[in-house]
Amino acid sequence: MLNLTGFRRLFKGLDVVDAPPAGAVRARMHIGGRWEHGTGRDWLRVASPATGEDLGYLPLGARADAERAIGAAVAAAPKLAGLTVWQRAGLCQAIAARIEARGAEIARMVCLEQGKTITEARGEAAAAAAAFRNAGEQIKWLETAAFPVEDGAKRAMSILQPKGAFGVITPWNFPVALPCIYYLGPGIATGNALVWTPAPTTSLAAALVMECMIEAGVPEGAVNLVTGEGPVVGDALVMSERLQGIAFTGSSAVGDSIAKRAAGKAQLLELGGNGPSVVLEDADLDRAADCISRGAFSNAGQICTATERVLVHVSVHDALVGKVLEKAADYVPGLSTEESSRVGALNNEENACKVDAHLAEAVAGGATIRMGGGRAAGMPTPLYYRPTVITGVPPESALHLDETFGPVVPILAFEDEDDLFRLAGLSPMGLSAALFTRDLSRAFRLAERLRCGSVNVNEASSYWEMHMPAGGAAGTRSGHGRTGGRHTLLAMSDLKTITFHVGG
C-alpha cells in the first residue's frame, strides 16, 4: 500500500497530503477542551482562492474524532444547561467581545480562505460578533406562558429547556457569520452543547472563531470543533444516536440525505435557493436593476438567497436588460485583498465549473450572453469570474431550474401572471424571492402566492436581518425550520408544560 510522507493526491479537487511539510502552519481541532490534530491520517493543503498562496494545512478528522467530540458534548451538556439564562447571555456577550477584538484577523482569514472581498469579509466578522450579542439579549426576554385551566385545583405553565447536544454542519460561503447567526450563538444561549464541523475549505477561519469562544470561557467540552470531510465526520454527527439535534446549511441534495438519515432528531436545515426576482410592468426599473445586480454579484453570487433568476414582464424586458447591464458594469472583478474590489473570487474550482456548465448549457439552448460569461483574465487564480448577464434563458435549463451560485443574472420574459407562476413553479426550490412593483395591492397578492419562505418587495432577494425568520417553504427543496432571532432559539429549545395540583 502506497503511503509516502508528503505524497500528494487530488480528492474532489482538494489537495490532500499524508503529512504537511516542515514548518508549515498546522490547524487544530478542539475536542473535549483540548486542541489537537485528531486521529486521521490525511491533511488538506489550504490554498487561497483569492491569491493562490498556501495558508496552512488542515487535519482531516476520522470518524472516531467526531465520536469523541460527541461524547464530550454529551458530557458537558448538563453543565451548560445548568447555567442561568443570564449567565449564558453573559457568555454570549463575552464571545462577541473576543470576536470584535480579533475582527481584523478574522476578516483577513475569511478574505484569503473564502475568496470574498476584504470589505465583505469585515462585514462578515462584524456580523459574527453581532450574532452572539443578539442571541445573548434575545434569550433573556424569551418569555413563556402560564395557561388558564378548566380544573380549579390545577395550575399550568411552560418553560424552555435545552434539547441537549446538537451536531452543526456549516458551508463555506459565509464561514463565520452563518454559523454564529444560525447555530452557535443560539445554541450557547439556549444551553445546548455543540459539535461543529465546518466546510474543509474554510475551516481555518472557523478555528479563529473557536478560539474566541474558548478565550471567552465556554465550559470545557460544551463546544467542539471537528474538521474534515462531510461524508466522514459530518456523517458521524448525522447518524449519532447520542445527539438530540442536527443543524445543516448547504445544498438541497445533501440536506435531503441528512433529513432521512437523521430521522428522529430535531432538525434545522437551510438548503439551496433559487427564488425568482420578479419585475412587473409598473416597476421602478432603476431600483430593480440596482437590487438585482447587488443580489447577483455580492459575495460573487455565492449566497443562498442571491439573484439566481429574473422573471420580467415582456413589455419592460429590453429596458430592464439595458439598466442591468449599466449597473453590472460597475462590478469589476478585483483582487479580493484590495480595498477597491467589488467582486472577489469564487471559493473553489468545483463551484466555478458548475457556473461554466450552467452557462454553456443555456447558450447551447439558445441563450445570449450580454456581458461576461467566463473566468476573468489576469488574476492570480482562475477562480475570479466575470459578472455575467444572460438573456433568452431556456426555462428547462439548469441555469433557470438549479442554484448556480455564481455572479450570473439569467433573465427570462413572461407574458402574464399565469405565465409568471408557471415559470416560477418550475424550480423545486423556495427560499427567498424578490418582487418589484409600484402597486401595493398587487404586491401583497403576489407575495402571498409565491412559494418561498421570504419575499422582499422592491428589494434584493438577498436582503435579510438576523432577527427575522428565514427558511424554505414547505414542500420545496429549500429545507425546513426557521433560523433567525427568537425563531432559532425556539427551534433549539424544548417547550415543556408543567402542571401543579394546588389543592381541592
Q: How many CB atoms lie within 10 A of CB 177?
A: 22
Q: Could you give the CA distance from residue 196 to residue 247 in angstroms, rounded to a whole number?
A: 9
Alpha helices by DSSP H, listed for 240-339, are: 252-261, 285-297, 317-328
Residue 13, pLDDT score: 58
Domains of the chain: 8-271+484-491 (3.40.605.10), 276-467 (3.40.309.10)
At 6, the pLDDT band (50, 70, 90 cuts) reads very low
Residue numbers annotated as active site: 270, 304
Q: Using one digit for the tens of pLDDT, what is the confidence trace for 337-365?
A: 999 999 999 999 999 999 999 999 999 99
Cross-strand pairs, 456: 434
Q: Could you give the CA distance from residue 216 to residue 41 in angstroms, rounded to a whole number?
A: 31
Mean pLDDT of 27-37: 98
Q: What is the mean pLDDT of the chain?
A: 96
At 10, the pLDDT band (50, 70, 90 cuts) reads very low
Residue 8, pLDDT score: 40
Dihedral-angle region of residue 365 (phi above 0 means left; psi in -120 to 50 means alpha; beta otherwise):
alpha
At 12, the pLDDT band (50, 70, 90 cuts) reads low
pTM: 0.96
How deeply is 151 buried, as exposed, middle or buried, from its count of CB atoms within 10 A (0-12, 13-18, 19+)? Answer: exposed
Q: Using one digit for the tens of pLDDT, what is the confidence trace for 74-121?
A: 999 999 999 999 999 999 999 999 999 999 999 999 999 999 999 999
Question: How many Cα atoms sit within 13 Å of 371 on the Cβ side?
Answer: 22
At 7, the pLDDT band (50, 70, 90 cuts) reads very low
Q: Could you give the CA distance from residue 197 to residue 130 in angstroms, rounded to a whole number?
A: 21
Q: Using one digit for the tens of pLDDT, what is the confidence trace for 225-278?
A: 999 999 999 999 999 999 999 999 999 999 999 999 999 999 999 999 998 999
Which amino acid type is present at position 234?
G
Output the nine-digit C-alpha cell for 11. Answer: 480528492
Q: Using one digit for the tens of pLDDT, what is the confidence trace for 286-322?
A: 999 999 999 999 999 999 999 999 999 999 999 999 9
pLDDT of 504 strictly over 80: no
Residue 5, pLDDT score: 35
Which residue from 433, 431, 459, 463 is spatially nearest to 446, judged by alpha carbons? 433
Which residue from 196, 181, 265, 183 is spatially nearest to 228, judged by alpha carbons? 196
Mean pLDDT of 28-45: 97
Mean pLDDT of 37-65: 97
Q: Could you give the CA distance from residue 233 to residue 332 in angstroms, rounded to a whole number?
A: 38
Which amino acid type is present at position 42?
D
Q: Could you give the CA distance from residue 466 to residue 483 in angstroms, rounded to a whole number?
A: 8
Q: How does strand 34-36 pair with strand 29-31? A: antiparallel
SS3 content of the chain, % helix, strand, coil (to 5): 40, 25, 40
Between 118-138 and 85-101, two packed helices, what is the crossing angle to 10 degrees?
A: 160
Mean pLDDT of 324-328: 98
